[in-house]
Amino acid sequence: MILPVILAGGTGSRLWPLSRKLMPKQFLKVTSKNTMLQETVLRLNSLSSQSPICICNEEHRFIVAEQMQEINSLGPIILEPVGRNTAPAIALAALSLIEQSNDGVMLVLPADHLISNNSEFLKIINESLPLANLGKLVTFGIVPSHPETGYGYIKVGDKVSIDLPLMFNSEGFTVQSFIEKPDIDTAKTYLDSGEYLWNSGMFMFKASRYLEELKKFRPDIYEVCKTSFHGASSDMDFLRININDFELCDDQSIDYAVMEPLCKSNDSSSVVVVPLDVNWNDIGSFSAIWDVSDKDEQGNVHRGDVLSHNSQNNLVISEQKLVATVGLDNCIVIETKDAVLVANKDSVQDVKKIVEQIKMLDRSEADIHRQVYRPWGHYDSIDFGHRDQVKRITVKPGQKLSIQMHHHRAEHWIVVSGTAKVTNGDKTFLLTENQSTYIPSGVIHALENPGVLELELIEVQTGSYLGEDDIVRFEDRYGRV
């Protein structure tokens, strides 16, 4: 039985302004009607496996839970209080399995990859299972199609020659070395040699074998993960890792912590790479989205309300406004509710430089969209002034915001559609379309949708301070402080 582990952390800054810290690319519908996380899980449907373990940042927990529920996948969700890279994250999943007396074969998959040839992918996964059962640490290398400077590489060694108890048709090779992202000239020599594969970040091994090697090469990471895991607490659908222990953990990838040291050790034959030729793409840039998308006769990819004239080979995405291009060639144009990106397609790897500038200016656009998701629904900040803010709030059926109070702002709620159950001070009552209520600052209040349809309302805030941290919660069904 294969035990999928989905790594759903990361920020995807090269896909800004679509991808942001609180809504990164793995939770977006980048290439299909499903999000990339959902596509990763659905890809495994015909595999003989258990429900996947998802590992994500604590601030993404409700997004992950909702998206997994939408596709009826109800596996455990492990919450990292702080990001510490892949070596600790995988260790937490392995410890979780060992605690359940389930030393099965873990299939570790990033949540933000695109694989077009799914049947071949599953075939190779199944054929590689005997290697993992024999105690090998298996990684999957992508057969390169062009010289790429955005990926790490794996140098392939000798073909694996061992007696396998089951049929093994895929080729497995020893690993000579893991190599950092090269420059373009070096990448060309790698491609020409035929001795190198792209490092996909996908792995397969027994939980106990991974922990054994981690303990050998990075005992500090192993001990911190073990301590913080045993100090974890259950919270609804989540396993919440102890922050005081886990934040002491070193930030380290599985490549640096385990795979590379093992390759250089006397036990180097324990690391095996299996080639994958499955139309793989990590969707690491907007040019990658253009590459995998259907194009019109001019080579353009248009999504949303887009018009073009004498324009070729562009990716244009519009979320809200009409976007028009004239005489534009080989460019990226991304329009969201609060930001517009225009870039040459050959320079899209530098989008992260803009994100760095936004962070240096202490602006919010690097972290959040204008539309912000919450476990009860979402809100859209329509307008923002010095002492006023207007939001459109959507509450899902049966959901309730926390019982709360604000020190510095008053609120006026106007119901647009649906039914609102409102607590305003010592009174609780229903509001329907076109009805409203005023909540002075300092008054305890709550909002709930008791109906079967979405509740939409307009909230007008006024006061000396309108930040989201001016919330004193007295009761919250989602476990927020």
Best CA proximity match to 37, nearest among 20, 21, 49, 55: 55
The residue to which tokens 């792995």 are assigned: 203
Same fold, 2-281 and 371-475: no
Cβ neighbour number for residue 184 with a 10 Å cutoff: 9
Report the pLDDT value the prediction gives residue 102, as an integer from 0 to 100: 82
Look at strands 331-335 and 315-318 and give their pairing.
parallel
Give the CATH number of domain 371-475.
2.60.120.10
Burial state string for 43-74 with b = 16 or more CB within 10 A and e = fewer than 16: bbeebebeebbbbbbeebbbbbbebbeeeebe
Report the pLDDT value the prediction gives residue 164, as an integer from 0 to 100: 53
Distance CA 353, CA 372 (A): 24
pTM: 0.89
DSSP 421-461: EEEETTEEEEE-TT-EEEE-TT--EEEE--SSS-EEEEEEE
Q: Which CATH superfamily is domain 2-281 in?
A: Spore Coat Polysaccharide Biosynthesis Protein SpsA; Chain A (3.90.550.10)
| pLDDT of the chain, 481 residues: tens digit per residue | 899 999 998 877 899 999 999 999 999 998 889 999 999 999 998 887 788 999 999 889 989 999 999 999 888 999 999 999 999 999 999 999 998 878 889 999 999 999 999 999 999 999 999 999 999 999 999 999 999 888 999 999 888 866 554 444 557 899 999 999 999 999 999 999 999 999 999 999 999 999 999 999 999 999 999 999 999 998 777 999 999 999 999 999 999 999 999 998 888 889 999 999 999 998 989 999 999 999 999 999 999 999 999 999 999 999 999 999 999 999 999 999 999 999 999 999 899 999 999 999 999 899 988 888 888 999 999 998 999 999 999 999 999 999 999 999 999 999 999 999 999 999 999 999 999 999 999 999 999 999 999 999 999 999 999 988 899 999 988 877 6
Tell the burial category of 371 from Cβ atoms under 10 Å away from its Cβ (0-12, 13-18, 19+): middle
Q: What is the DSSP letter of 49?
A: B
Distance CA 345, CA 331 (A): 5
Report the pLDDT value the prediction gives residue 407, as an integer from 0 to 100: 96
Report the pLDDT value the prediction gives residue 161, as an integer from 0 to 100: 67
**Structure token digits, residue 76:** 């455990």
Whether residue 30 contacts residue 14, with contact meaning beta carbons closer than 8 Å, is answered with no
The residue to which tokens 């604590």 are assigned: 58
SS3 of residue 229 by DSSP: helix
Q: What is the DSSP letter of 361?
A: T
Whether residue 128 contacts residue 204, with contact meaning beta carbons closer than 8 Å, is answered with yes
Helices (H), 56-151: 61-70, 86-99, 118-133
The torsion angle over the Cα atoms of residues 413, 416, 419 and 422, rounded to 10 degrees, is 0
SS3 of residue 45 by DSSP: coil
Each domain of the chain, given as residue ranges in start order, spans 2-281, 286-357, 371-475
Distance CA 51, CA 378 (A): 28
Cβ neighbors of 357 (< 8 A, separation 6 or more) are none
Distance CA 57, CA 72 (A): 21
Report the pLDDT value the prediction gives residue 166, as an integer from 0 to 100: 45
Report the pLDDT value the prediction gives residue 430, as an integer from 0 to 100: 98
Q: What is the DSSP letter of 312?
A: B
Report the pLDDT value the prediction gives residue 167, as an integer from 0 to 100: 43
